[in-house]
């Protein structure tokens, strides 16, 4: 089964200015750039391919501030931007090597999420996807997002796993192939092998379930995720987000 993977970080209740969000956006793209050559250049989205490829973004804080000043990049009281890496054709000319990313920042309300999502190509359809959708690269991508945005939580998983194994009755924090938890949530307890736990400076913790690609077709992967989710939930780490500023 071909699975589409993504990395995402999420936080609520943190009002930030255009300048602050721009600095975070610059750091995010600067940190993911070394992870793969196709993540070192980003373009704005447009009505046509030609127009989009003409809108190469220089990922500096000043460039993001200028974009956030435009009405189309304002979302309620915050800021929103969607980008892609311009890889519109794969090496075999059949499938796209495109990576998409989008982020919103600056929302103070607990009802409006701030997010950053990175969507690499599908591994089965792209040589780039096969290269980047690994435990090493996706863990580093989630680390970069955590360092840049300082979120409450984050995850790397496939859309198939999310839609199949994450019904509404489960805790609000998703546990995936890789999970990030802010230190504000508490201390991560010991977890079973082969799970890897590593700090992200003094901000939080990354939890990587398997060194190989996590798939829904592997019962051992699904069982391990369920076991880890139960341990984290019992430790009180999967409850509602802690808000850092009032509405």
pLDDT at site 209: 98
User: What share of the chain in percent tops pLDDT 70?
Assistant: 92
247 confidence band (pLDDT: 50, 70, 90): very low
181: left (phi over 0), alpha (psi -120 to 50) or beta: beta
- Each residue of 19-52: pLDDT tens digit? 999 999 999 999 999 999 999 999 988 777 777 7
240 lies in some domain: no
Q: Would you say residue 170 has pLDDT above 60? A: no
Q: Which two tokens stand for residue 19?
A: 């300048």
Q: How do residues 211-222 score in pLDDT, each as one tens digit?
A: 999 999 999 999
pLDDT band at residue 1 under the 50/70/90 scheme: confident
Strand pairing partners for 82?
102
Q: What CA–CA distance (Å, rounded) separates 127 from 124? A: 8
Is 67 inside a domain boundary?
yes
What is residue 192's predicted lDDT score, i.e. its pLDDT? 95
Give Cβ neighbours of residue 18 (< 8 Å, ≥ 6 apart): 65, 68, 69, 79, 106
| Residue 41 structural domain | 5-234
pLDDT tens digits along 71-101: 988 877 899 999 999 887 655 545 688 999 9
In-domain check, residue 241: no
Query: For residue 118, is pLDDT > 60?
Result: yes
Q: Does position 243 have pLDDT exceeding 80, yes or no?
A: no
* Residue 183 belongs to a domain: yes
Inside any domain, residue 147:
yes
- Residue 90 sits at φ, ψ, to 5 deg, of -80, 175
| Rounded alpha-carbon distances, angstroms, from residue 140 to 7, 144, 219 | 10, 6, 26
Mean pLDDT value of segment 158-184: 84
> CA-CA distance, 159 to 67, in Å (whole number)?
30
User: Residue 62 class from Cβ within 10 Å (0-12 exposed, 13-18 middle, 19+ buried)?
Assistant: exposed
User: What is the count of structural domains for the chain?
Assistant: 1
Q: pLDDT tier at 242 (50, 70, 90 boundaries)?
A: low
Residue 172: other Cβ atoms inside 10 A: 11
In a domain, 246, yes or no: no
> Which burial class, exposed, middle or buried, applies to 149 when counting CB atoms under 10 A from its CB (0-12, 13-18, 19+)?
buried
Q: Where are the beta strands (DSSP E) in the chain?
A: 5-11, 42-44, 56-57, 74-75, 78-84, 100-105, 114-119, 153-158, 178-182, 196-200, 204-208
First to last CA, the chain: 43
Give the residue-averaged pLDDT of 228-238.
Answer: 94
Query: CA-CA distance, 149 to 27, in Å (whole number)?
Result: 9
- Pair 145, 9: CB distance under 8 Å: yes
Q: Left, alpha or beta for 198 (phi > 0: left; psi -120 to 50: alpha)?
A: beta
- 239 domain-assigned: no
Please provide the average confidence, as pLDDT, over all residues in the chain. Answer: 90
Residue 27: inside a domain = yes
Which pLDDT value is given to residue 245? Answer: 40
Which pair of tokens denotes residue 192? 């079973």
CA atoms within 13 A on the CB side of 233: 13
Lowest model confidence (mean pLDDT) among 16-25, 101-110, 133-142, 237-246: 237-246
């Amino acid at each position: 089964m071909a699975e589409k993977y993504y990395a995402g970080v999420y936080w609520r209740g943190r009002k930030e200015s255009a300048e602050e969000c721009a600095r975070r956006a610059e750091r995010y793209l600067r940190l993911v750039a070394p992870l793969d050559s196709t993540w070192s250049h980003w373009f704005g989205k447009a009505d046509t391919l030609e127009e989009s490829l003409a809108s190469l973004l220089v990922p500096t804080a000043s460039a993001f501030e200028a974009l956030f000043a435009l009405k189309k990049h304002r979302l309620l009281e915050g800021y929103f931007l969607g980008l892609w890496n311009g890889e519109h054709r794969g090496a075999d000319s059949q499938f796209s090597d495109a990576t998409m990313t989008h982020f919103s920042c600056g929302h103070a309300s607990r009802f409006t999420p701030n997010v950053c999502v990175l969507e690499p190509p599908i591994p089965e359809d792209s040589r780039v996807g096969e290269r980047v959708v690994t435990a090493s690269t996706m863990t580093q991508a989630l680390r970069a997002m955590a360092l840049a945005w300082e979120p409450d939580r984050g995850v790397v998983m496939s859309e198939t796993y999310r839609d199949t194994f994450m019904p509404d009755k489960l805790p609000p924090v998703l546990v995936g192939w890789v999970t990030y938890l802010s230190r504000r949530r508490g201390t991560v307890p010991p977890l079973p092998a082969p799970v890897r736990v590593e700090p992200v400076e003094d901000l939080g913790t990354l939890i990587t379930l398997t060194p190989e690609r996590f798939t829904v077709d592997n019962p051992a992967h699904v069982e391990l995720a369920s076991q880890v989710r139960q341990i984290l939930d019992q430790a009180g780490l999967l409850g509602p987000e802690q808000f850092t500023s009032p509405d």
